[in-house]
């Protein structure tokens, strides 16, 4: 099994740091690309592979991480546990916003995007099949925020930190590594079960209701009146149920609707170069073009005009 490797941008010029970091991340998790959000980029990483697990512990400033499929199925999933800072994960329309102690699972064979503030992550890529054997309905739990408040989540967080501490000692062996891999997968499955979000009648909201509410949002993004009450009425459930549903994926109804409006607006800016920015704002449910511009800049770090020019 490998020893822990250490990497840092220290000693490199600012011009070379991002290229170095991208080569490193793509080598570790193929298809990964990092774009800095600030001029002064600094980053460091620990990397370790043992058993069936590929682990990294990256720390950097504000950045955007995207991962694209490489064309060959890996049958892997990736756990991102927020050790410090905050992040926003987006995969296949599912959005999870993490604070310290939260984690999310992503499909390594589907595109995903992570918006990061200054942060430290505990990241583990693992075999999908082995985890799916322990967690029925695993697909419903991908890109769903698993909260830090769950006792099993706290146990998993502590276990990963203890693995890094053990790895620094350098006295591990292959049998130990495989055994620990199995324990790790058991703890992840326990945390996923402990992180279930229940509706008012006790049924899990991970399946049909979540898919239905997303469909309603997508179909009504152009309606400025779309909100929690409208979603509840359309689904035939209480406002509280809708709020609990979105809390389970780490956001609020209004936060999710705003995010989807901005994402659709970004797509329209690129795909409809002849459309005016005001028209796009109205078509995506904004009744005030100035408010749209402010929200867009806060989300993407550029004005709508700049974003269109850059893409």
Q: What mean pLDDT value characterizes the chain?
A: 86
At 199, the pLDDT band (50, 70, 90 cuts) reads: very low
pLDDT over 80 at 285, yes or no: yes
Averaged over 57-82, what is the pLDDT? 89
Residue 143 in this model has a pLDDT that exceeds 60: yes
Interval 21-27 mean pLDDT: 92
Phi, psi of 66 (to 5 degrees): -125, 150
The predicted pLDDT at position 92 comes to 82
pLDDT at 171: 60
- Tell me which H or E stretch contains 103: strand 103-107
Whether 304 contacts 275, CB under 8 Å: no
Instruction: Name the residue with higher pLDDT: 73 or 154.
Output: 154
Q: Which two tokens stand for residue 20?
A: 């170095």
pTM across the whole model: 0.63
**Average pLDDT rounded to a whole number, residues 118-130:** 92
Instruction: State how far the Cα of 220 lies from the Cα of 148, in Å rounded to an integer.
Output: 33
Domains in the chain, CATH or no CATH each? 5-194 (2.60.120.10), 208-310 (1.10.10.60)
């Amino acid at each position: 099994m490998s020893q822990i490797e250490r990497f840092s941008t220290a000693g490199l010029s600012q011009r070379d740091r991002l290229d170095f970091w991208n080569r490193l991340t793509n080598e570790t998790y193929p298809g990964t690309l990092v774009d800095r959000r600030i001029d002064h980029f600094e980053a460091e990483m620990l990397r370790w592979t043992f058993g069936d697990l590929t682990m990294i512990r990256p720390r950097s400033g504000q950045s955007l991480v995207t991962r694209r499929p490489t064309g060959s199925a890996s049958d892997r999933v990736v756990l991102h546990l927020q050790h410090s800072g905050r992040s926003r994960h987006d995969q296949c329309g599912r959005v999870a916003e993490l604070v310290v102690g939260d984690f999310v699972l992503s499909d390594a064979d589907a595109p995903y995007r992570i918006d990061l503030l200054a942060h430290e992550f505990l990241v583990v890529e693992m075999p999908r099949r082995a985890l799916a054997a322990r967690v029925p309905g695993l697909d419903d739990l991908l890109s769903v925020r698993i909260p830090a408040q769950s006792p099993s989540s706290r146990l998993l967080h502590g276990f990963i930190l203890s693995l890094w501490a053990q790895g620094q000692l350098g006295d591990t062996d292959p049998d130990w590594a495989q055994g620990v891999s199995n324990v790790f997968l058991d703890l992840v499955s326990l945390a996923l079960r402990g992180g279930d979000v229940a509706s008012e009648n006790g049924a899990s909201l991970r399946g049909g209701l979540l898919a239905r509410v997303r469909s309603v949002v997508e179909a009504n993004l152009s309606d400025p009146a779309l909100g929690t009450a409208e979603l509840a009425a359309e689904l035939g459930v209480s406002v509280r149920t809708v709020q609990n549903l979105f809390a389970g994926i780490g956001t609020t109804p209004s936060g999710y609707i705003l995010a989807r409006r901005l994402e659709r607006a970004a797509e329209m800016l690129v795909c409809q170069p002849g459309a005016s920015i005001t028209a796009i704002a109205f078509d995506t449910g904004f009744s005030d073009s100035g408010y749209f511009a402010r929200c867009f800049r806060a989300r993407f770090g550029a004005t709508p005009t700049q974003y269109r020019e850059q893409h």
